[in-house]
Structure 1
Amino acid sequence: MLVGYARTSTLDQTAGLAAQERDLHQAGCEKLFVEQVSSVDVTARQKLTEALEFIREGDTLIVTKLDRLARSVAHLHELLSMIQAKGAALKILDMGIDTSTPTGKLMLNIMGGVAEFERSIMLERQREGIAKAKAQGKYKGRKPTAMSQAEKVKQLHSEGMKPVQIAETVGISRASVYRCLE
């Protein structure tokens, strides 16, 4: 059975959702799982969970685009493992990838490797840029917020104010108040 999954991040993306549903129907999907929820909170993606529970051996889960399914390469591999453990396959329409074929599996793994490589290069460049800026005295990092209020926190505490009241008065967290008092 061909099972489709469509998702948009916000409720105002109805045109995008309708286009996904249309493409999934054209691909032959007999059952669709559709939701409008951010990919960041994986626990909120109830329809994805239902789709993964629904698929059986020999089924194919179809998505129009990779970003509609997974939020990262690690998440993609986690989902792919779940799909393959059920004896099902994954098909990504816009990339022409079908993991029921050896070539599709290879392409997905290559893409995942390239994405991880690009991410690590980007982080390395970012670290180098920060180190260079620090050496030139241009990068100071984030300005400390709570510790800059330490004297005021200590003064209010010595006047008998409770940590919760100090936190509200100064505009920092209760935990920060305790750190200032140590």
Structure 2
Amino acid sequence: MAGADLRGSRVRVCPSATGVCEGLGVAQHKTQIVAYVRVSSIDQNLDRQLEAVGEVDRVFKEKISGGARTDRTALADCIGYVRDGDTVRVASMDRLARSLGDLREIVDEITAKGASVEFVKEQQTYSRDTDDAIGRFMLNLLGAFAEFERTLIRERQREGIRIAKAAGKYKGRSRKLTDDQITEARRLISTGVPKTTVARGLGIDRTTLYRMLASSLSSRPTDASGPAEAEA
């Protein structure tokens, strides 16, 4: 169904994992405004982008950490879906592409189908009819600026981490425990060893231990006959 031209009522969502769209429609062509939104982590929130693009006929959501085009299935679904006269609305250029070359290529693919691309933040719209020298110049200029801005943000993040490390405040990501370590931690706690002592032995803090124990407990089948954990 990823390539099906299902045109119908507002609003439907196409998650990137399957490309299958929620909602039913009729096989009738009408111009539509579709949105493409992207974050680089499943933990990040799409709300700001969804607010920026406003009311649309369909939303293609991408949550992916990799930068390869082949991994961006929601983008492929979006490009495959649009028809002549449609508009692809994106919150900003850096949400559609990660580099200037990538941006030009994606815009060309969309406009070649007769659809237009609208960037909300940059207040720019590109289509096959407006593919002139000035339009191409603005795309290159704003795309290059977006790429530079991303680079600058990464530089600031690295500098902030460097300063925090120098001050002894940066600890990096919380260490994860293996299943065997969690099992052993439960065994020790059940014998009366304080959780603070167990956490120290595993090289993590008490809060992290609590979180990992709770997470592993919620992900395994309930066993009413299992031993209760001893409190520290």
Report sequence identity in percent: 35
Residues 41-120 of structure 1 mapped to structure 2, 5 A cutoff: 41-100=68-127, 102=130, 105-112=136-143
User: Displacement of 1:64 after TM fit?
Assistant: 0.2
2-structure distance, mates of 1:81, 1:54: 15
User: Displacement of 1:112 after TM fit?
Assistant: 4.3
Aligned residues: 113
2-structure distance, mates of 1:115, 1:6: 16
Partner of residue 23 from structure 1, selected from 41, 52, 57: 52
2-structure distance, mates of 1:68, 1:18: 13
TM-score, with structure 2 as normaliser: 0.44
User: Displacement of 1:38 after TM fit?
Assistant: 2.4
- Amino acid of the residue matched to residue 22 of structure 1? E
2:32 maps to 1:5: no
CA contact (8 A) 2:35 2:89 kept: yes
TM-score, with structure 1 as normaliser: 0.55
What are the Cα deviations for residues 131-164 of structure 1, in whole angstroms up to 9, with x where unaligned?
xxxxxxxxxxxxxxxxxxxxxxxxxxxxxxxxxx
CA contact (8 A) 1:9 1:38 kept: yes
CA contact (8 A) 2:119 2:125 kept: yes
Q: Which runs of 5+ in 1 are unaligned?
A: 119-182
Q: Which runs of 5+ in 2 are unaligned?
A: 1-31, 149-232
Partner of 1:33: 60
1-structure distance, mates of 2:104, 2:120: 18
CA contact (8 A) 2:93 2:143 kept: no
CA contact (8 A) 1:39 1:70 kept: no
1-structure distance, mates of 2:67, 2:118: 22
Q: Secondary structure at the match of 1:95?
A: coil
CA contact (8 A) 2:100 2:140 kept: no
Q: Secondary structure at the match of 1:58?
A: coil
User: Displacement of 1:114 after TM fit?
Assistant: 6.7
Q: Secondary structure at the match of 1:98?
A: strand
CA contact (8 A) 1:60 1:89 kept: yes
